[in-house]
Amino acid sequence: MFPVFYRCTFAAMEKELEIFEKVNQLFMKYGIKSVTMDDISRKLGISKKTLYLYVDNKADLINKSLELHLLNEKKDIEEIVKTSKDPIDEMLNIARHVSSMLRQVNPSTVYDLQKYYGESWRLMESLHQDHIYGIIRDNIKRGMDLGLYRGNLDLDIIARFYVGKSLILVDEDIFPMKNYNRDKLFLEFINYHIHGIASKKGLELLEEHLREKAEE
């Protein structure tokens, strides 16, 4: 049996996580700029005074909510890596996961982060780049070892290409949200990426996986 102190600490941590999870849902659904601290406390069913026990201000709330979101995304991607059949199946599963996530995000959320909360956006961008770079580099290495990707690829360069190109997908100047579906964009991007690095064996496996997933 845990002492009362530890039980209280765990309860406080659980409450904090619950708050940030719900805040993430609000930001994803409504955007960030339009959601006030009053809106958040009302939606959470707590007072603003209670909310400020966990954060200093809205910027702090955004940072902490984003950190939790990135942590959850990291866990989701690691689970995909663990359960996928092979490197190509892994890339397709990551694409499906990201596409599913993008469908839940209000287009203004990314815009609000970039324009009004640059520090938070840079934090998310940096953590995203570091984590995704490692995932893609490992994927390419395993694909090359299995003969699914061409054997003459430069792991570092191709992984950085992937990270750099993925950021273009949320660039309003290149792909305005009103003209392009983020879901379709990411699926096209993954298809482009795999065709650029796959061997003949890999392309055959890609077609096999696409047929299987179309039947699911």
Which domains are delineated in the chain?
57-215 (1.10.357.10)
Tens digit of pLDDT for each residue in 110-149? 888 888 888 888 877 787 788 889 999 999 999 999 999 9
**pLDDT confidence of residue 143:** 98
Q: Is 149 helix (H, G, I), strand (E, B) or coil?
A: strand
Of the pLDDT bands very low, low, confident and very high (cuts 50, 70, 90), residue 186 is confident
- Residue linked to tokens 């580099």: 137
Contact 120, 55 (CB under 8 A): no
Structure tokens at 70: 């990135």
Tell me 105's DSSP state.
S
What is the structure's pLDDT at 128? 75
Question: According to the model, what pLDDT value does residue 134 have?
Answer: 94
Structure pTM?
0.83
When pLDDT is cut at 50, 70 and 90, the band that residue 9 belongs to is low
123 closest CA partner among 65, 79, 182, 165? 65
Tokens read off for 86: 């092979």
**What is the 3-state secondary structure of 24-70?**
HHHHHHHCCCCCCHHHHHHHHCCCHHHHCCCCCCHHHHHHHHHHHHH
CA separation for the pair 201, 170 (Å, rounded): 32
Which of these, 3, 1, 21, lies nearest to 13 by C-alpha position?
21
Whether 185 and 175 have beta carbons less than 8 Å apart is answered as yes
User: Smallest Cα–Cα separation from 98: which of 132, 125, 67, 124?
Assistant: 132
